[in-house]
Each structure stands twice: as C-alpha cells, then as structure tokens.
Structure 1
Amino acid sequence: MELSLVHPAIKAFMCGSFSGTCSTLLFQPLDLVKTRLQTLQSGMQPGSGRVGMMSVLLGVVRTERLLGLWKGVCPSFVRTIPGVGIYFSCYYSLKQHFFQDKRPGAGQAVMLGGGARTVAGVAMLPITVIKTRFECGRYSYVSVSGALRSVCQSEGPAALFSGLMATLLRDVPFSGIYVMFYSQTKASLPQEISSSPAAPLANFSCGVLAGVLASLVTQPADVVKTHVQVHPHLRTAEAIKYIYSEHGLQGFFRGAVPRCLRRTMMAAMAWTLYEQMMAHIGLKS
C-alpha cells in the first residue's frame, strides 16, 4: 500500500478512536445495567417481582456506589479505543478502495459496515469477553491484564474467544443495518441542511434512527452472546435453549432498553464526531 493511502487510514483510525473514547465514557452505565439484566437468574427470590432497568441501576448505586456504574470501563476503553479505530479505519479503506468518491447503495452500505465490523469484532473479542465478565459482577478480576492471565490459566486461551459466533451474529448485522439506514437517511436530507451549521445535529438524528432499528433487530443475539461469555461452558445453541427454557421468548429481549439507548446514542455520537473530525482534517468520510 502506498504511503498516500496509509496516512488517511491512520487518520481515520485516530478519529474513530477519539469518538469511541468519548461515547464509551458517557454511556458505560447503560452497558453495565444491560449486562446485569441479561444475567439475572430466573428464580432469585420468590415474589420479588419483575426486575427492571431502574431497579438494577439503583441497586448498583446502593451496593457499589455511583462509581459502580462505571465498572468495566477499563476493559471497555481497552476494547473501544483500538476497536472503534480499527472499525472506522477498515470502513474508510474499504470505501475508498471500492467506491472512491461514489456514494454506496443500500446493499453496498450493508457490506461495508458488516465487513469493517467483522475485522474489528474478531480482533477485539478477547477484551469483549473480559469486559462482559467485569460488568456481570460474578468475577473478582482486579485488572484487564490479570483477567486475561486468569482466563488463560484456568480455562485456556480458547475461552477468550467464547461467544465468537453470537458476537458476529450481533455486531455484523448491527453495523451493516446501521450504516445502511444512516447513509440512506443522511443522503435524503435537503442540501441546505447538509451544508448548514445544523448538519452535525441532523447527522446525529439520522444516527439515532438507524441505531434504534439496528438495536432491535440484533437484541436476541446480544443476550445469547452475554450468556456464552459469562458461562463459557455453554455453546451458542445451548445458550439459546437455556434462555428460552428459563425466560421464554421475552428472555431474548432482556436489557433491550438500556442496550438500545446505549448502542443508539453511542453509535450516533461516534459517527457524528468521526465525520466532523474527518471533515476538519480535510478527508471525506
């Protein structure tokens, strides 16, 4: 690859990493609440009633204080800073290679988003496993490096790739659907809005709409992924059977509200910041 092609990809990596850092720090509490909801046992206490998002959030604050809502933020940073950078760098490189200055169609946008997410998802899966375990509250890990050593010694390196299929089934469709809806809704904006000072707000709104649709479609895969990574003895098919037998169909939508809020707002913010930074350095995103 020529040097002129390397530099834009590195710039895209840096812009993506910065946008991912900001959105991760802001929305980590929603991710923690989502993980706790998805890993609740079915028979916790007779007559305890339905456990919702607010009760979990207040429970975390009550038992682990306010900073407990940011438990798992370190592995989130370790995953997100390079992970989002890899994603945007791959997205930019693929788009420049196959489309250059042409606007991708709906199906092409799905392929772009899904391809970039596949690379980033596989590369960062070990950190995703550690992050999920930090958030669920069932493991007493002290640091990311210590958690990685502990998993390798007690369960073997293969455990760091548990939930690979469920993760790809969640992230690849999410990214593909998100990029498709985001690019198509943004392209439908009137030119006077796209070139006005209100463009970042309009782009953010497009990102919110795309995020809601993509989150709802991929929610069941996210629940399965969480169970496989928290209980590494479970295979994907076994996790599906377990969730259905314990909670029924509604079990596949546990944690949907905090996840939808987090993924939607995080993706919208990341894409808005990424595009603004790319425009600032003179590159077309």
Structure 2
Amino acid sequence: MVSGANDSQTPAIVSLAAGGVAGGIEAFTSYPLEFAKTRVQLRSQKGIPTPKNPFLVVTQVYKNEGIRALYKGCGALVVGSIAKDGVRFLFFDQIKQSFADPQTGTLSPLRNLFAGMTAGVVASITAVTPTERIKTALIDDARTEKRFRSGLHATSVIWKEHGLLGLYRGFVGTTLKQASATAFRMGTYNILKDFETKRQIQQNTATNFANGSVAGVVTTLATQPFDVIKTRSQSAHGASTVEAVKSVLLDYGVRGFWKGTSMRLGRTVFSGGILFTSYEAAVKVIQPLYDGLGRKEGVGAV
C-alpha cells in the first residue's frame, strides 16, 4: 500500500477518502498547466499557432480571456479526480495488500506496476473517461464555438447529441493512458518508498514530494502518446481512436505523439508531489477518525 509496511492494514474507506481528497487538491492547484497542455494537443486554429511554452499559453489566455478562462473545465476535472484518485488509491492499496510480502509489506517492482495498471483500468471505467471528455470538450469549445455554458450544460448537450457513448468518446485512449500512467506513477512511487523503507530512510513531506515528482517524470515520458490520442479523441466534436491517431500523424508525424510533453512534465512533477504528499497527510488525519469511530461503535476495519 502507498503508506508503507507499517500501514498495510489501512481500511478501504480510508484509502478511498484520502485518495479523493488528494485528487481534488492536486487537480485544482495544477489545472492551469493542464489547461495549457490540452490546448496545445488540440488541433490549432488556422492562422493561430499555439505556443509551445506552457507559461506563455497561460499568459496569453489570461490576457485575452481572463482568469476564469484558465479554469474552464476545471470543475469536471476536480470532480473526476476526486472519484478517479479515490478509486485508484482504493484498488491499488487493496491489490498491494493482497500480494505484498507478509514479512516486509512490500511488493516486487513488477507487482507494483501490475497493481497500478489494474487500478488505472478501474478508474478509467468508473470516473476518468466521462469527466476527461467533458473537460477536454469545454477547453476546445472555449476557443471556437463557445456553445457550452458549463460542465453540466456540456454533459447535457453531448448526451442529447451522442448518448452515453458520447461521454465515453476516447475510452480506448483514456484507458490505455490511465492503465499505463497509474502503473508507472503509483508503481514508481511505491518502488521508491519500499526501497527507502528497507533502508530505514525517514519518510516525511520532503521525501513524499520528491518521490511523487520522480514518479511524475517517469509517467509523463512513458505515457505521453496515449495522452495525445485521448485529447484528440475527446475534442468538442469528438473522434474515434483511429481518427485521432491519423490526425496526429497528418499534422505532426510521429513526433506529434509527444506534443505537450514539456507542459505535462511541468504539471506532473508538481502534481505528483502534491498528490502523494496530500494522500499521506489525509491518511494521517482520516485514519485516527476512522479508528475512533470504529472503537466507539464496535465496528472492525473494512
């Protein structure tokens, strides 16, 4: 589990709640960089090239459209991240507890990656694909037709025009991204943490943040093509996975599959540190409350 051998019996409800809190904090604080990355990955408007520098994208949008524009689609991402990270921390922790070495509470690197991959697939099905679809559609629509008034309105319009499948547009790309990203992010974080635990390296906010940042770098470099395909599939009008792949190759060639890498790196290094630091802190707050409630009501751990 994420918190190390000593916490191997963290109840499922604690993993779910702490993951949700961490996901919401991470999504909100890093959203402007996510916004910039998505803008770059979408097809450029004719005659209006999109800068490669994420901070320049943020600056231009702020000057031309105001601060609210930088948070277009943020609500959908925050809601999705609360659900996504709650689910994937829950499943990752439960899978890790099942396969961990009973003596040390740790997993082999391969099993760490497998646990993360499984958690990513579940998260994509239950939360990530529809909320990412709404977020991406809102960002794309804001620079073109401007027909979506809010996340709820976008959801309603897409549902009326395309049904449930419209909300799951880009499911293949999103699931590939989530499976691989969660495998690398949570796998790398836990490999580093297990390594430190065995060598009795003290775990604190600094080490949590550093481990999360390293995990973010590994995740970005390994999974960027899936992220680009997902973004193209989930534009305002949508596209199939095959159409998305073709459009990237047509626009930029093979190098296009790493479009937005610098922007995503800037976000994942920052957000990876925030996510795992927030999770560890949330567990420390929620676990005693849960234990106290359990003792008061005579309820055992889930």
Above 0.5 in TM-score? yes
Query: Which residue of 271, 277, 300 corresponds with 1:272?
Result: 277
CA contact (8 A) 2:35 2:139 kept: yes
Query: Which residue of 219, 226, 235 corresponds with 1:230?
Result: 235
Letter of the 2:66 counterpart: R
Letter of the 2:160 counterpart: Q
| Helix, strand or coil at the partner of 1:230 | coil
Which consecutive unaligned segments of at least 5 residues does structure 1 have?
Answer: 1-5
Question: How far 1:264 moved relative to its partner?
Answer: 2.9
Q: Deviations over 1:175-223 (max 9, x none)?
A: 111222222222333745325xxx2211211111121011111111111
| Helix, strand or coil at the partner of 1:185 | helix
Aligned to 2:148: 141
When the two chains are superposed, the root-mean-square deviation of aligned CA atoms in Å is 2.4
Letter of the 1:211 counterpart: G
Counterpart CA distance in 2 for 1:9 and 1:80 is 18
Counterpart CA distance in 1 for 2:156 and 2:244 is 25
Larger deviation: 240-249 or 95-104?
Answer: 95-104
Aligned to 1:13: 16
Alignment of 1:1-285 (within 5 A): 8-41=11-44, 43-45=46-48, 51-99=52-100, 101=102, 102-124=105-127, 125-136=129-140, 137=142, 138=144, 139-189=146-196, 191=199, 193-194=201-202, 199-230=204-235, 232=237, 234-280=239-285, 281=287
CA contact (8 A) 2:114 2:183 kept: yes
CA contact (8 A) 2:80 2:132 kept: yes
Counterpart CA distance in 2 for 1:249 and 1:158 is 28
- Cα 1:115/1:105, change in 2 over 3 Å: same
Q: Deviations over 1:17-73 (max 9, x none)?
A: 11111111110000100011111427425xx69653233222211121123211111
CA contact (8 A) 1:37 1:52 kept: no
Q: Percent identity?
A: 26
Larger deviation: 273-282 or 204-213?
Answer: 273-282
Question: How far 1:130 moved relative to its partner?
Answer: 0.4
Question: How far 1:279 moved relative to its partner?
Answer: 4.0
Q: Deviations over 1:111-130 (max 9, x none)?
A: 11111111111111212100
- Cα 1:22/1:231, change in 2 over 3 Å: closer
CA contact (8 A) 2:52 2:260 kept: no
Letter of the 2:216 counterpart: G
Counterpart CA distance in 1 for 2:79 and 2:196 is 36
Counterpart CA distance in 1 for 2:233 and 2:50 is 26
- Cα 1:50/1:272, change in 2 over 3 Å: closer
CA contact (8 A) 1:24 1:80 kept: yes
Q: Report the count of equivalent residues.
A: 273
TM-score (norm 1): 0.87
CA contact (8 A) 2:21 2:282 kept: no
Which consecutive unaligned segments of at least 5 residues does structure 2 have?
Answer: 1-8, 292-302
Counterpart CA distance in 1 for 2:138 and 2:81 is 15
Counterpart CA distance in 1 for 2:78 and 2:201 is 34
Counterpart CA distance in 2 for 1:114 and 1:55 is 34
Counterpart CA distance in 2 for 1:219 and 1:78 is 23
Counterpart CA distance in 1 for 2:154 and 2:51 is 32
